Structure 1
Amino acid sequence: MSPDFAKSRGKVTSVIASIFTGRRWSLRNMILPGVVLLLIAFGWYIVLRQTEILTQTTIAVYQQTELAMVRAVARSVEQYISEQIEEHGRADVAEFEQEIFERFIAPIHLLKNGDAWIYAPDHVVFDRSSDFPQAYRGKNMAQIFAIQAEHGASHYQEMTEAVMNAREGVGWYIWLPDKGREIAAWTPVTIGDLVWVIGLSTPLPEIMESTGAASQIRTSVITMALASGVALALLTAWVISTSRRKQAEMALAEEHSLLRTFIDNIPEAIYVKDTESRFLIANKVVAQLMGTTPDKLIGHTDFDFYSEELAREYYADEQAILSSGQALINKDEPNINPLGHKRWILTTKVPFRDSQGKIKGLVGIGWDTTERKGAEEALRQSQQKYASLVDSLDGIVWEADAETFAFNFVSHQAERLLGYPVERWLTEPTFWKDHIHPADQEWAVNFCVQSTQEKRQHDFEYRMLAADGRIVWLRDIVTVMVENDHPVRLRGVMIDITEHKRIEAEREALIAELEAKNDELERFTYTISHDLKSPLVTIQGFLGYVEQAALSGDMQRMQADLARISNAADKMQRLLNELLELSRIGRLTNPVKAVPLSQLAREAVELVAGSLAQRGVEVVIAPDLPLVYGDHPRLREALQNLVDNAVKYMGDQPQPRVEIGGRLDGSQTVIYVRDNGIGIDPANHDKVFGLFTKLDQKSEGTGLGLAIVKRIVEAHGGRIWIESDSVGQGSTFCLTLPDGTTKSLSE
């Protein structure tokens, strides 16, 4: 053992060593009283110093908490008043300062007796329902404190000057001596042309109690008081031990044992180290943490028990304390003993000095916080698990204010489903309303507002606009959170039902298509039975006439009857051919290829040239018609039927005319066949494309021509419609083919 260590140990621990060993102490008549009192003074110095540091640290931390709160309230007040001025035209801020107080200030509860207040430019705003004396109302802060000074208020001048000049700050004052110091923080908020100051204050005793600092201080004071009492008792016993030395030594030994028992059984780790970080004193808790016994610690350092890395960390902290004289307060640090067991210790280390003020070492105390750390880690994992669970749901979990619908929580699925960052949901107060589909916006918002006011759980389906322009169907399941019979929060989950809606729409379309086909089949069956039966009846009837004519030798009559039978058979043949053609149109049987529309038009006109010439119809085919892609024979057949239909319904038009052309409709090419015939009543535009539909039952044909045209166009993925204002104005049959099957006229 080095001489320095021996000297240090002799000065600091000779009393405690003698207590535990029971050996006599040289020059004790002169030294013992001074050493005992020095140790007591030193102990109280540590307690008072720790109390002072802990109190100042607690005040500083709490003031920052208060300051953060008043800043947040200030932002809310400033935003609310701006909305009231800009959206509701409430220009006189003084008219609703009490409203601001009740909405934003009164709800703030800081511990038991904390206060929140507003300082307007010339007066302090109080809650009208409070029991503040009328003498304070309408007064500025300096006037109020001047009145309160008669009741003991003090130390308010610095805060009053800062508040009345609208400067942000923290401080303390005394309102009533019984309440002690009140810790305050305040910040200005600009209200139009005015500047208010919003402040919070809390009695210091309540702060100390709420943070646990008061409990920690009481523990230290009680511990020191007990130690001081024991030490003074020992000293007293020594003074009166002249005549009863043996008895006194026995009593002293008991007191020593009691003190050691107290130190060793206190739940905190207590130790003293010299300037080289060697242990001078250590209780059982310290020894257990280091995996050894107290006596084996004396004279050793952390390097003898901990890993190199951990020991260096401890050593660096302690040397910083010894060199600066500044205490290390409440550092949460790991403790890993030689067996590898890890615990967390909340450590406070303070330097101790000799009578000349020279630092001779340090005193440390540590609280085992492993269980608290474990609880914190379990809470963190629980929160992480909850967040992971929320994000794994195939929907947007959210929470919002029941009055404003402003979100305060949105799960990350929101960005995946709709493409907007979560920050926008949280920072834009009207984000939800602004991104509802315009067709759903009014009713969806009104429905949610009404349901919330009625405190009724609800769910509804509406569309939202995604960031990439998609329309997303959502089912929103909402729970209304009620406090004091008032809705305060909304919680819910938005489920993407876009695919469900698509499938539902397809199902409805298929059902409608099936119903339409069933109706068409029913009409088809009826018409077939009627139209096929009619020629058969004709044939059967005229066969009898033929037989009579043959028997009577009337050849002229027999030839006429046979002609009628032949016409009926031809009609049946045409009907059967067109029915067969109609059944094949649902699929394209020829290769799809490019063919000029002008060529198709000429071929179609050529096929009906006889009827055109017979009626004297002029056909005009527009130049520069587009290139058409499709089944060549089918498209030609469609044009042929349209031209033939125009000829049939030309009426008594003296100058019959048919035009085949094309026009641009936006980015789409429309092909048309226009005539100047009798026209079609708009009420019959859709009807004429049905099976066996003939608006003029006396006209030629089977009524299948336009149905065949419609089938051909739809088989190519296009559509067909009629443009005819009224009867007698002619008709225009228009058809389109989807993108990729028709080249635009603009090319």
Structure 2
Amino acid sequence: MKKERALQKTAAELRREAEARLGQFPGRGGTGRTDAELLHELQVHQIELEMQNETLRQSQIALEESRDRYVDFYDFAPVGYLTLNEQGLITELNLAGAEILGAARSKLVRSRFSPSVAPEHRDRWHQHFTNTLHNQSKLRCELELVRPDGARVDVLVSSVRLTREEHAPVLRVALTDISERKQADDALKASQQRFLDIVNTTEGIVWEADATSFDFSFVSRQAERLLGHPIEDWLKPGFWVEHLHPDDKAWVPEYCASFTRQMVPHDFEYRLIAEDGRVVWLHDIVTVVAENGAPRWLRGIMVDISRNKKVEGQLREMAASLEATVEERTLRLRRLAAQLTVTEERERRMLAQDLHDNLGQLLAVIKIKLTSLAGNELQPEIDKVVALVDQAEQSARSITLELSPPILHRLGLMPALEWLGDEIERVYGISVEVDGSACESGLGPELEAVLYRATRELLINVAKHAKVHRARVSVMCDEGELILCVSDDGCGFDRNAHGGPLSGQRSFGLSSIYERIVNLGGAMEVDSSPGNGTTINLRVPCRNDLKGVS
């Protein structure tokens, strides 16, 4: 700042300063003489010249320092600077510019700039050069330069026209190396393209939508391929709700909105209508994105599950068909089992009848014949034979009762059950209470025989396992159904500890009873637990159609 102030001194100031300096030397004061005045004047001028020379010297130093700073700033700037004339020749160039162009500065000065531009960018450069020469504002463009060694450099070119008096205009050009930024941009673009390729080739519709309106802000190309609607239509307001299947419009938007309000990820299955009218099943997996603590965006992927749904439908049809087939075959097997049961009961009745009519009468005749021989020496032997005949007759009677008690066929189910209670009390020592009445419409001899035999087996189970001295048998008709109940207050059992269609049936001989009752169109219920006794209900239709299985 001092040097600048020195350069700004006027001639009058210089004279006053020179006179002041002259007054500092002895013997140089005024004498009043003319020659002394002249000498004084010459001395003042000499001092002025010395001071001007010092000022000029200081100015020269300041200029040199300023030039050095300019050279430093210019040559060592991180940006390449160069000056081009109207012909495109390089007239000035800094070191950074020479480094960017890849050649010595001495070789580049007075050479054309355009050969350093990549061939594919030269038209762009010529257009930029021309526009800058005819424009007062700064213009920019990006170019790719080719160095003499073949290396390529991406640069940002900033140019401005500079007009000097009595000189042709020139271009001041700044070159900024943007290779790293360009590489980063290219890498980012490549990454974005790979992401889009992945998204658009994924077997699902990748999407983003507003969390409030459900309007899409992005959908992948798979959306157009899958449903036929152009991407532009997907981005229109209300597209998603409008194209929901009519049966899904009632619940899908509210379902999605409820989870969105809670900001909870969710997934669900629904249907969209394609452009050609097809119904497309989608499994939508949704994530909620929050901003400032509130749901802002929904992002997800829709997977086409139409084929799975079709297969599921086919499997359901196959399962229904298989179930119907199994049910039909089960019905056939039950009918066959019912036929076998009816046949077995008939054979039992016939065998019992034969034992009673033939073997029983034959034993009776033998006993009569033997007793007619009384009074001779063989009487002891005859008595032994008569005793054996009595045993055989008793055994025949017992077998007949077990096969098919005559009372059942003569008097019906209820009298037979009362007689059975007496027999159980006589044989096993437990009291059996029998009450109720059979159906007035009649069950048929075969079904009555099955119920009688089932009751007998259940009472024997009570006698063997219940550890009780009393049992009860009740019979009643309810809405066309006969219910036969056998109960006791004994030890009971844990039904879950036993297998089979009815828990507990295997350990207590219930399997055979269950199969017979079910095959005849009935049902069996077991109610038991340890320490609480057992109740077994046998249910059969009062009008069981056994003619069809006969």
Given the two structures, how large is their TM-score scaled by the length of structure 2? Answer: 0.51
Q: Secondary structure at the match of 1:350?
A: strand
Deviation at 1:295, TM superposition (A): 2.4
Deviation at 1:282, TM superposition (A): 0.6
Instruction: Note if 1:299 corresponds to 2:110.
Output: yes
Give CA-to-partner distance per residue, 1:199-250, whole Å, 9 cap, x none.
xxxxxxxxxxxxxxxxxxxxxxxxxxxxxxxxxxxxxxxx988358888767
What residue in structure 1 maps to residue 275 of structure 2?
Answer: 467
Change (3 A) 1:302 1:533: same
3-state SS of paired residue (1:460): strand
Match of 1:372 among 160, 181, 185: 181
Question: Which structure is larger by alpha-carbon Rg, 1 or 2?
Answer: 2
Query: Structure 1, residues 108-163: CA drift from partner, whole Å, max 9, x if none?
Result: xxxxxxxxxxxxxxxxxxxxxxxxxxxxxxxxxxxxxxxxxxxxxxxxxxxxxxxx
User: For 1:522-533, what aligned pairs fall within 5 Å after superposition?
Assistant: 522-532=330-340
Aligned: 1:444 with 2:252: yes
- Cα gap change, 1:302/1:531 in structure 2, threshold over 3 Å: closer, same or farther? same
Pick closer, same or farther for the CA change 1:526–1:417 going to 2, 3 Å. same
Distance 1:287 1:240 in 2: 44
1:383 and 1:476 map into 2 onto residues whose CA distance is: 24
Partner SS, residue 148 of structure 2? coil
CA distance in 1, matches of 2:339, 2:58: 140
Distance, in Å, in 2 between the alignment partners of 1:487 and 1:311 is 51
Amino acid in structure 2 at the alignment position of 1:292: A
Which residue of structure 1 lines up, in the alignment, with residue 216 of structure 2?
Answer: 407
* Equivalences for residues 583-594 of structure 1 within 5 A: none
Contact 2:125 2:143 in 1 (8 A): no
Residue correspondence of structure 1 range 502-541 to structure 2 within 5 A: 502-532=310-340, 534=342
Deviations 1:285-326 (A, max 9, x none): 11112211222222221256556665675455434543x244
**TM-aligned CA distance change 1:285 to 1:409, over 3 Å:** same
Contact 2:95/2:105 (CA < 8 Å) preserved in 1?
yes
1:339 aligns to what? 149
Q: What is the rounded CA distance, in whole Å, between the counterparts of 1:310 and 1:438 in structure 2?
A: 57
Match of 1:621 in 2: none
Q: Is the 8 A contact 1:306 1:338 kept in 2?
A: no
> Aligned match of 2:297 in 489, 505, 509?
489
Alignment of 1:144-155 (within 5 A): none
Which one of 246, 256, 261 corresponds to residue 67 of structure 2? Answer: 256
For 2:320 and 2:254, locate their aligned partners in 1 and report how far apart those are by CA, in whole Å: 33
> Which residue of 276, 290, 307 corresponds with 2:87?
276
8 Å CA contact 1:277, 1:315 repeated in 2 = no
Do 2:205 and 2:302's aligned partners in 1 also have CA atoms closer than 8 Å?
Answer: yes
Q: How does 1:122-161 map to 2 (within 5 A)?
A: none
Inter-partner Cα distance in structure 1 for 2:280 and 2:204? 12
Offset of 1:329 from its aligned partner?
A: 0.8
Q: 2:191 aligns with which of 361, 382, 389?
A: 382
Which runs of no fewer than 5 residues in structure 1 stay unpaired?
1-238, 550-689, 704-747
Q: Is residue 83–residue 92 contact of structure 2 (8 Å, CA) maintained in 1?
A: yes
- Deviation, 1:697, is 7.4
- 1:4-403 equivalences in 2 (<5 Å): 242-243=53-54, 253-302=64-113, 305=116, 314-315=125-126, 317-322=128-133, 324-327=134-137, 329-356=139-166, 359-403=168-212
Distance of 1:317 and 1:492 partners within structure 2: 47
Runs of at least 5 residues in structure 2 that lack an aligned partner in the other structure: 1-49, 359-520, 522-541
Match of 1:472, SS state, is: strand
The amino acid that maps onto 1:434 is E
Quote the offset at 1:702 in angstroms. Answer: 6.4
Distance 1:339 1:517, change over 3 A: same
Number of equivalent positions = 320
- Give me the identity figure in percent: 33
Q: Which residue identity is paired with 2:231? A: V
The offset of 1:461, in angstroms, is: 1.6
| Cα pair 1:459 1:475 within 8 Å, conserved | yes
The answer as to whether partners of 2:103 and 2:148 remain within 8 angstroms in 1 is no
**What amino acid is aligned across from residue 107 of structure 2 in structure 1?**
K
The alignment status of 1:434 with 2:242, answered yes or no, reads: yes
Matches within 5 A, 1:561-710: none
Q: Distance in 2 between matches of 1:514 and 1:367?
A: 79
Q: 1:255 to 1:473 in 2, by over 3 A?
A: same
Q: Is the 8 A contact 2:82 2:97 kept in 1?
A: yes
CA distance in 2: counterparts of 1:454 and 1:312, whole angstroms: 59
What is the CA-CA distance between 1:450 and the residue it aligns to? 2.0
Read off the aligned partner of 1:419 and give its amino acid letter.
G
Aligned partners of 2:268 and 2:285 also within 8 Å: yes
Distance 1:316 1:521, change over 3 A: closer
Quote the Cα distance in structure 1 between the aligned partners of 2:337 and 2:153: 96
**Structure 1 residues 399 and 315, CA gap change in structure 2 (3 angstroms):** closer
User: Aligned equivalents of 1:506 and 1:515: distance in 2?
Assistant: 14
Amino acid aligned to 2:244: I
Answer yes or no: is the 8 Å Cα contact 2:92–2:109 preserved in 1: yes
Please tell me whether residue 480 in structure 1 is matched to residue 288 in structure 2. yes
Instruction: Using structure 1 for the length normalisation, give the TM-score.
Output: 0.38
CA distance in 1, matches of 2:125, 2:100: 14
Give the letter for the 2:328 counterpart: E
Change (3 A) 1:327 1:701: same
**8 Å contact kept, 2:267–2:285:** yes
Instruction: From the superposition, tell whether residues 240 and 426 of structure 1 become closer, same or farther in structure 2 (CA, over 3 Å).
Output: farther
Distance change >3 Å, CA 307–CA 494, structure 1 → 2: closer
CA distance in 1, matches of 2:116, 2:231: 50
Which amino acid in structure 2 is aligned with residue 302 of structure 1? F
AA of the residue aligned to 1:385: R
Relative distance call for 1:402 and 1:325 in structure 2 (3 A) is closer
Is the contact between residue 327 and residue 348 of structure 1 (CA under 8 Å) also seen in structure 2? no
Please state whether the residue corresponding to 1:354 is helix, strand or coil: coil
What is the distance in 2 between the residues matched to 1:421 and 1:368? Answer: 42
- The secondary structure found in structure 2 opposite 1:338 is coil
**Structure 1 residues 348 and 307 mapped into 2: Cα distance closer, same or farther (>3 Å)?**
closer
CA displacement 1:667-688 (0-9 Å, x = unmatched)? xxxxxxxxxxxxxxxxxxxxxx
- Give distance in 2, aligned partners of 1:311 and 1:697: 104
In 1, the alpha carbon distance for the partners of 2:120 and 2:350 equals 120
Deviation per CA, 1:652-696, whole angstroms, max 9, x where unpaired?
xxxxxxxxxxxxxxxxxxxxxxxxxxxxxxxxxxxxxx9xxxx99
Residue type of the alignment partner of 1:452: T
